[in-house]
Amino acid sequence: MGEYRNRKSVTLDGSGNGSVSFDVRSSNQRYVIGFIVVSTNQSPSVAPYPTATVYEGPQQAGMADGASWTGNQDVFRGRFVMDAGTDLTVAFTGGVAGSKATVIVEGINELRSELARRGY
């Protein structure tokens, strides 16, 4: 058990779109994500601002867990449990082409053996 923090970036394409995905590294681990920080390196005064959408799994209808209309600087808060085989994808759409979008996920890294010992 311990803290989990991971950061990934993507350069937005010619349409201002891009995405990053996070997965669980081992079948013996579970990540409980509490914060998802999204940002871009575009100036706060330069439009268009990207929409950042969080997906549990692939980018498809019905899988979105939330979105921000100000994806150039925002924080998602909540509880997202990731087991082996579960992906968390953050998609940026409609931003400034060539901007660098960054996602930071923070939470807890739990060992499944410890969870079993505690009866979870």
Name the nearest CA neighbour of 96 among 44, 46, 37.
46
The dihedral region occupied by 51, where left means phi > 0, alpha psi between -120 and 50, and beta the remainder, is beta
- Residue 31: count other Cβ atoms within 10 Å of its Cβ: 24
pLDDT level of residue 12 (50, 70, 90 thresholds): very high
The domain spans of the chain are 2-117
Interval 47-81: pLDDT, tens: 899 999 999 877 887 778 888 887 778 899 988 88
- Is CATH 3.30.390 what the domain over 2-117 is classified as, yes or no? no
Distance CA 58, CA 67 (A): 15
More confident residue, 114 or 5: 5
For position 114, what pLDDT does the model report?
A: 57
Banded pLDDT at 3 (limits 50, 70, 90)? very high
Q: Record the pTM.
A: 0.87
